Structure 1
C-alpha cells in the first residue's frame, strides 16, 4: 500500500427503514436538515441551489468540513449524488429503493482525506477512522428513523 492509498476510503452502509421510499428520499434530499436528526452532522450551509458546506464530527475529537456539490438528483431512480471537496474529496451517493413494506437506503462514498492531521495519522489511525465512520452512520440511521416517525 502506498502512502496515497492510506488516505483513500470506500464506505458502504445499508439502512433498512420502515418508511416508504418517497419519504426517505425527501428526508435525504434536504442536507440542510441533517443537523436536526443526525447528531454528527454539525452544520450544513447552502451556498446555492446545488452547493453547500457540511461540517461533521463523530466520536473522535476532530471536525471535517467539505463543500458538497449536487451532481445527480433523480427521484425516479432514487439516487442522490454529490461531489466533495475540502477536508475530504471524492463523492457520496444515496440510493433509495423499495424493500418489502419499507425502504433500503444505500450509502456509498469514495473519498481521499486532505485534512493534514488525518493524513499524518493515516497508518496508525485507519482502523479507528473506519470505526468512527461506522458509529456515525449507525447514529444517522437512528436519527433518520426518529425523524421519519415524527413527520
Structure 2
C-alpha cells in the first residue's frame, strides 16, 4: 500500500430507527446541519454532489460523491469519490440493541498535492485528523436524530 492510500473502518451507533438513520445519510445536501466538518455540499445532479470538508488540520478536501448503490431495504449505501480523494465509501445500517449501527468502510487515495508530499512524515497525523472528523460526525448525527428535550416546569417555582 502506498503512503497515499488509506483504508478506514468505523462503526457508529445511534439511538434511532435504522430507516431514519439511512434517510439522513442519503440526504447529502443536509450533512452540514449535523456534521460540523462538512463545510459545503453542492448537488450536481440526482446522483452526484460535490463536498468540501475540513477537520482539525488547516486544509480542506474537495471531492465528488457519486451514488453507486442505495438499497434502503438492505441498509446498504455506497458512493464513489473523485477529486482530492479518489476511491469509495460504503456503509451498512442495521439494527442494534440500542437503535441503529452504521458500519463504514472507506478506501481512498489522496490526490491533493500538498498531502501527497507530506504523507511520508504526516500520515499518522492525517489518520488522527480523519478519526476526529468521524468522531464529530457520529456525535453530530446522534444529536441531530435525538428527540428534543421536553421543557418541564419546576415544581414550587
**Could you state the TM-score of these two structures normalised by the residue count of structure 2?**
0.92
Q: Give the Cα–Cα distance (whole angstroms) in 2 for the partners of residues 93 and 110 of structure 1.
A: 9
Match of 2:106 in 1: 109
> 1:48 & 1:21 partners in 2: Cα distance?
26
Matches for 1:116-127 after TM superposition, within 5 Å: 116-127=113-124
* Equivalences for residues 1-151 of structure 1 within 5 A: 5-150=2-147
| TM-score, normalised with respect to structure 1 | 0.95
Q: Is the 8 A contact 1:69 1:83 kept in 2?
A: yes
The runs of at least 4 consecutive aligned structure 1 residues that moved more than 6 Å come to none
| Secondary structure in structure 2 of the residue aligned to 1:137 | helix
User: Unaligned regions of 5+ residues in structure 1, if any?
Assistant: none
Cα distance in 2 for partners of 1:31, 1:107 equals 16
Which stretch of the first structure deviates more once superposed, 141-150 or 113-122? Answer: 141-150
| Partners of 1:132 and 1:123 in 2: CA distance | 16
Q: Distance in 2 between matches of 1:23 and 1:76?
A: 12
Give the superposed CA RMSD.
Answer: 1.1
- Give how far 1:76 is off: 0.9
Instruction: Determine which structure has more spread, i.e. the larger CA radius of gyration.
Output: 2
Q: How many residue pairs are counted as aligned between the two chains?
A: 148
Structure 2 runs not aligned, ≥5 long: 149-157
